[in-house]
Amino acid sequence: MTESRIAFPANWPLRIGWLLLAIYVVWAIGQLDVTLARFIDGLANAQKFLGRMFPPNFGPDKIEMIVKGLAESVQIAIIATAVGIALSLPIGLMAARNLMPPWVVWPARALIAVCRSFHEVVIAIIFVKAVGFGAIAGIGALVVGSIGFISKLFAEAIEEISPKQVEAVRASGAGFFGVLAYGVIPQVFSRFLGFASYQFDSNLRHSTMIGIVGAGGIGGSLFSAFQRFDYDFVCAILLSIIALIILAEVFSSYVRALFNDNLALLDFFRNRRTARLLREKTAAMGPS
């Protein structure tokens, strides 16, 4: 008589883990005083607050303040992203365990961990205390945040590359920088482009917020408007920030398409399906 087997045996350790997680969530909600009554009261207050925000105030003097603040935020984000990428490349290379010895890897990873330990607003407060109010504090804060993000992901991308291409380049007699140029960078370039694009989006969002602590950008105007209870101007600033982020997303998408798909600007703004069919038709026809 053969012993019967269960097709899908119960995973009791996993079930116990989920049960413990559920118990902890319920306990944490009680500790943090998260109640349904407070949430309902908050909805009523939010309705009053939103009622005071509309219609948004886009007066001539307000538009001038918004444009000036957004321009400064964009400048902060661009400079911080460029400097952060320039510093993250060597740090990410040094943190890759398949390329560097341990005595190089661990200090680089420790530096990355330090840069990732604090939110950009906390770092901005430190820079404001160190160098004073203004854009330079915001740039420094976002550079530190960029190093923590890009260096980590770049190092992980390098560690996931195929060693065969690296070995082939080494076998041809190439030195260390030749291996990087022909064996490593081609395998991680598209991913690194995505990292850099995302970091620019992130820096742009953070540049609109760090101004709250005096680190430049539109955040200072937003905080001042909240303090004056000028909620219709707050709404105008928030809508302007949303429009800026949408434009930045379109720009980042086009940059990725330009490098990855060699997609022309006209094709990018066409229907994506039409552009794909045009490329497939051109490839099928071959060179004339």
Task: Average the pLDDT over 68-81 and give the result.
Answer: 89
Q: Contacts from 63-68 at CB under 8 Å and sequence distance 24+?
A: 65/221, 66/218, 66/221, 66/236, 66/237, 66/240
| Nearest Cα to Cα of residue 139 among 82, 223, 212 | 82
pTM of the model: 0.74
How many CB atoms are closer than 10 A to CB 155?
Answer: 25
pLDDT of 101 strictly over 60: yes
Domains present along the chain, CATH in parentheses:
62-261 (1.10.3720.10)
pLDDT single digits (tens) 217-273: 888 888 888 888 888 888 888 888 888 888 887 777 776 666 655 555 445 445 555
> In the chain, what's the furthest Cα-to-Cα distance?
89
Helix (H, G, I), strand (E, B) or coil at 128: helix
Q: What would the pLDDT profile of 105-161 be if each residue is shown by its tens digit?
A: 898 889 988 888 888 888 888 888 888 888 888 898 899 988 888 888 888 888 787
**Residue 282 predicted with pLDDT over 80:** no
Please write the tens of the pLDDT for every residue from 35-50. 777 778 778 777 777 7
DSSP string, 181-201: IIIIHHHHHHHHHHHHHHHHH
pLDDT at 288: 44
Are 51 and 178 spatial neighbours (Cβ–Cβ below 8 Å)?
Answer: no
pLDDT band at 1 (very low <50, low <70, confident <90, very high): very low
What is the pLDDT confidence band of residue 21, given thresholds at 50, 70 and 90? very high
Q: Which residues contact 199 (CB under 8 A, 6 or more apart)?
A: 81, 84, 85, 146, 149, 150
* 164-199 per-position pLDDT tens digit: 777 777 777 777 777 777 777 777 777 787 788 888
